[in-house]
């Protein structure tokens, strides 16, 4: 079973928490634990701060895509944080 989350609606807003991700669309609100997600494909039009992106990268693979679904960037955590 694939654990991919695709967020493509530009009206979607996300809240990043330590244990889960809250997704708010114009019609629904969702909360998804990071343990249920392996990869997130995020539309570049959805506003995400640098700290939110970093927090997401520590838990899951994160890809930024355009409105056609083409991958623009892969965001990942840096290797050694102790330096």
Tens of pLDDT, residue by residue over 2-50, are 699 999 999 999 999 999 999 999 999 999 999 999 999 999 999 999 8
Residue 21 near residue 58, CB atoms below 8 Å:
no
Q: What is the C-alpha to C-alpha distance for residues 27 and 69, in angstroms, rounded to an integer?
A: 22
Tens of pLDDT, residue by residue over 63-78, are 999 999 899 999 887 7
Q: What is the DSSP letter of 14?
A: E
Right CATH for 4-75 from 3.50.50.60, 3.40.50.12280, 3.100.10.20, 3.40.50.150: 3.100.10.20
| Spans of all domains in the chain | 4-75
pTM confidence score: 0.85
Q: What is the C-alpha to C-alpha distance for residues 43 and 74, in angstroms, rounded to an integer?
A: 12
Q: What is the C-alpha to C-alpha distance for residues 35 and 20, in angstroms, rounded to an integer?
A: 8
In three-state secondary structure terms, 61 is strand
């Amino acid at each position: 079973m694939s654990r991919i989350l695709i967020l493509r609606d530009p009206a979607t807003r996300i809240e990043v928490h330590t244990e889960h991700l809250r997704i708010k669309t114009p019609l629904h609100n969702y909360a998804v634990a990071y343990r249920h997600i392996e990869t997130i494909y995020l539309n570049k039009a959805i506003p995400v701060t640098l700290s939110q992106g970093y927090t997401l990268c520590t838990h899951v693979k994160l890809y930024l895509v355009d409105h056609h679904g083409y991958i623009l960037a892969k965001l990942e955590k840096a290797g050694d944080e102790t330096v």
